[in-house]
Structure 1
Amino acid sequence: MTLHTPMAMLHATLPAEHARLLQYFNRRVGREAAPDLVQEVFARMFGSGTLDRIDNPPAYLTRIARNLLIDRSRQKRRDCTVFFPFDENRDAESRAEQTWRIEAADLLRLYRQAVRTMPPKTRRVFVMHRLRRMTYKQIAEQVGISIATVEYHMMRALALCRAAVAEQW
């Protein structure tokens, strides 16, 4: 076997090229990643299926090394996702609390509007029970109606509130 065949030249230059590529990657990506990248360069070269057609092995290996760095750079840009630590006490609750407050304000507006549109006696019974915390018996005595009538007005008031909410949502 003569030293002038492409395969013979390649085998003769492998140790020197390994050292040269290791130095090349050490300067560009650091000592930790360099050995893996050198191995990847040789794996790409031997996996290319073009070993018998390589005229200048050092130039071919340099091109593979540069392409590998370009691929690595593109991959880093694609994977450039920034992760922020999730603080459950700050992030999740503040958003949910803010949403809850907005929804609660909307509901309160709907309920007030529904109460304003109730018939006067129904509104009075509803306000006495829900806002003043009076019992049905106390309301019946104060208004001069039966407990069954108080129950009727409360059911009517709650149905009007439910209808107002259902209409909006």
Structure 2
Amino acid sequence: MPAAPRQAVQRIYAEHHAWLYGWLRRKLGDAHDAADLAQDTFERLLRSRDTAPILEPRAYLTTIAQRLVIGRARRTALEQAYAEALALMPAQHAPSPEQHLQVLQTLEALLDMLDGLPLKCRNVFILAQVQGMSYTDIGAQLGMTRNAVQKSLARALAHCYVVLYG
């Protein structure tokens, strides 16, 4: 990152970190999670390739933090669903701790890859590709036509291709 944008981020950090931490703490109810997400928010800001001046730092930080909160909630829900599915498996078919970790890492990478897609596209992708549901069943669950499900899945797959291969 060039010196000028880095200095801008340092200024924003100095002026708004305490506010962002407080906002996240109220929203999440947990000081440790708030500290982690505040740090992740500024890390994401530092990695941003956008060099335009930030006119409304609190709004910008809130947007980044909201996305991180949503991403964390999605990860937690997916991990919980995976844990529940594991609990239903007979012990002899349960994955090893290494396999379990690998699955969780793969799921996290998948969610990161889907970041930036509209919620319906992400949901269609997960229901079709992860849970193996038919287009008709997905449409019924999400209130979409079969054609809309197909288009959403195509959009999600195209997005994944761009993320993976540029």
TM range (shorter): 0.3 to 0.5
TM-score normalised by the chain length of structure 1 = 0.41
TM-score normalized with structure 2 length:
0.42
Higher Rg of the two aligned structures: 1
**Whose helix proportion is higher, 1 or 2?**
2
